[in-house]
Amino acid sequence: MSPELFVAVLATVVTAATPLLLAATGELVAERAGVLNLGVEGMMLVGAVAGFATALGTGNAPLALLAAALAGAGLAALFALLVLVLLADQVVSGLALTIFAVGLSALAGAGLVGTPVERLPRLDLPGLSDLPLLGPLLFGQDALVYLAHLALPTVAWFLRASRAGRVLRACGENPEAAHAMGYRVRLVRTLAVLFGGAMAGLGGAFLSLAYTPFWIEEMTAGRGWIALALVVFAAWRPARLLLGAYLFGGVAILQLHAQSLGLLPVPAQLLSMLPYLATVLVLALVAGGRQTAAPAALGRPFLPPR
């Protein structure tokens, strides 16, 4: 494989990992606050269709990204109302919202299927984007790629070093103690869920505006579920999330290249299953471990005492 082709493959791995990284970063924050949001797939879908429709109607990329983030956050607000105020079961509510979002996005995008839209512009950096080999890989990406890779270390710093991050982690570990210390647990959890929804919406927008700049129904193709698995794979630690995103993104891209080059004498459908088989395998390995780093109050409802 020539160096140019190798860099081109790596660049496609970066793009494949970006929506996973965006959605998983937001979900990690929500889960560290103690909320298990299984509606990530649905939030990605509504973000994808909202961003695409806005870009198609206005031609304004920043406005399209804002619409995607707000759409994801809007669905997250509904989820927060159900599980944090009405104390509905988090697993059932997340699954129900995903089913709802699949139908809602299909309805909203019914007239948009197959319509192309201008791809998100790449942010070329003078002098750096023209570097041989590494220039296109590191300095020729669009804004969402840079945002995904900046958001993760920012979240890592926030959770580890900031006072607000420590409060958020306390709400995920022992909400009763956090409440006794005067912290507003439900408000903290709500903000974490809204952040997760906005990031999932941006992950969906990346799919419809950059990865494949057109809209088709259910175009997330299970990436929201993979993002959920990534949080478990990373043991709820931001530093490991990047490795997991690139691992799953790499599997997805390598199976496409294996199909196109005919490297493996197996049906194409079997190769297409590889990213999802890898997800199941990773979850099985993690579940088989003796210890878990999951927040102690993850998925547990909290009702402030009167």
Domain ranges of the chain: 3-287
pLDDT tens per residue across span 99-130: 999 999 999 999 999 888 999 988 776 666 66
Least confident of 33-37, 127-131, 152-156: 127-131
pLDDT at 277: 75
Contact of 204 with 47, CB cutoff 8 Å: yes
Q: Quick one: which of 43, 90, 99, 11 has its CA closest to 223? A: 43
User: If you search the block for the tokens 């294996």, which residue do you land on?
Assistant: 258
Greater confidence (187 vs 1) lies with 187
3-287: in CATH 1.10.260? no
- Would you place residue 64 in the very low, low, confident or very high pLDDT band (cuts 50, 70, 90)? very high
Between 234 and 277, residue with greater pLDDT = 234
Question: Taking the CA atoms of the chain, what radius of gyration do you get in angstroms?
Answer: 20
When pLDDT is cut at 50, 70 and 90, the band that residue 14 belongs to is: confident
Q: What is the mean pLDDT of the chain?
A: 87
Residue with the bigger pLDDT between 273 and 217: it is: 217
Q: What is the pLDDT of residue 139?
A: 75
